[in-house]
Amino acid sequence: MDKITTMNISFTKMHGLGNDFMVIDAINQKISLSSERIKQLSDRHFGVGFDQLLLVEKTNLKNIDFKYRIFNADGSEVEQCGNGARCFVKFVVDKGLTDKTEIFVETKNRNMRIKKMAENAYCVNLGLPIFTPKDIPFNQLKNENATYTVDGYQVGVVSMGNPHAVLIVNDINQEIESIAKKIQNSGDFPNGVNVNFVEITDKSNITLRVYERGVGETLACGSGACATVAYLDLIGRVNAKDKDILVSLKGGKLLIGVKEEDGVFMVGDAEFAFEGQIKI
């Protein structure tokens, strides 16, 4: 009979505006998790429960402090998570993994700068928004101001390192799941897509709900807030280059700004929930 090996994993549960994460230090402990195991851990009844799993790893890149890996609740690895980035920097600073208050992290497809600004305020530079279809990736080509028709719905399509579809709605409290699933299953997004529903109050205030790929609706989505503001700024519905935009989500509020050369910035908080160990 083969010997069954087990390992104890220390973890921290965190959240950014209710978007919750299981955060693991994979520098000081050996971690090997299959996608099926991650899915089991994400279960809110039989596991730890989370929207995403965040791994803190070493990097081999020069002038980069850490590698930042993100896994959705369904076990799939994804490119970006803005709320998770704020939790990431709080974790590495408060756990003594760095003595810096500004760090550079490697993600799956881009590098990010994250800075602790105050006691519990963190600024994430997610970089420049991507509107070129092949780089999102997105299968359609014809567009006007990054606006397309997907399964009968007019959407803005943009990537902040991960793909987003933005729908402007008159009532943010409308049913969104069926619409989000239609767009996600349209076949236009080879790597899937997060679907953002936005109600515009005025040039400086918006309300947002996000239905994430591999997760469902979450209480907040940092990259979704950045992608939405970047698109609305492009089409002139907000003035993000002149004034930070206040984004209201179910879990709380974020400030989003757009800089012509540096990209999209997000400011918000991050919170520890609890810590524990789990035997795998």
Which residues are annotated as catalytic?
Answer: 81, 221
Residue type, 230: A
* Phi, psi at 200, each rounded to 5°: -95, 120
Burial of 216 (0-12, 13-18, 19+ CB in 10 A): middle
- How far is Cα 213 from Cα 162, in angstroms, rounded to an integer? 10
- Is beta strand 263-268 parallel, antiparallel or unpaired with respect to 121-127? antiparallel
Q: Kindly state the DSSP code that residue 135 receives in the 8-state scheme.
A: G
Nearest C-alpha neighbor of 79 from the set 69, 90, 91: 69
Separation of alpha carbons 112 and 131, rounded Å: 19
SS (H, E, C) 40-100: HHHCCCCCCCCCEEEEEECCCCCCCCEEEEEEECCCCEECCCHHHHHHHHHHHHHCCCCCC
Contact by Cβ (8 Å): 124, 266: yes
Nearest to 126 by CA among 259, 280, 275: 259
Helix (H) or strand (E) holding 89: helix 82-94
Q: At what angle do helices 222-234 and 82-94 cross, to 10 degrees?
A: 130
Place of tokens 């397309």: 148
Tokens standing for 209?
């709900």
Q: Which residues, including other chains, have CB under 8 Å from residue 276's CB and lie 6 or more apart?
A: 10, 11, 13, 48
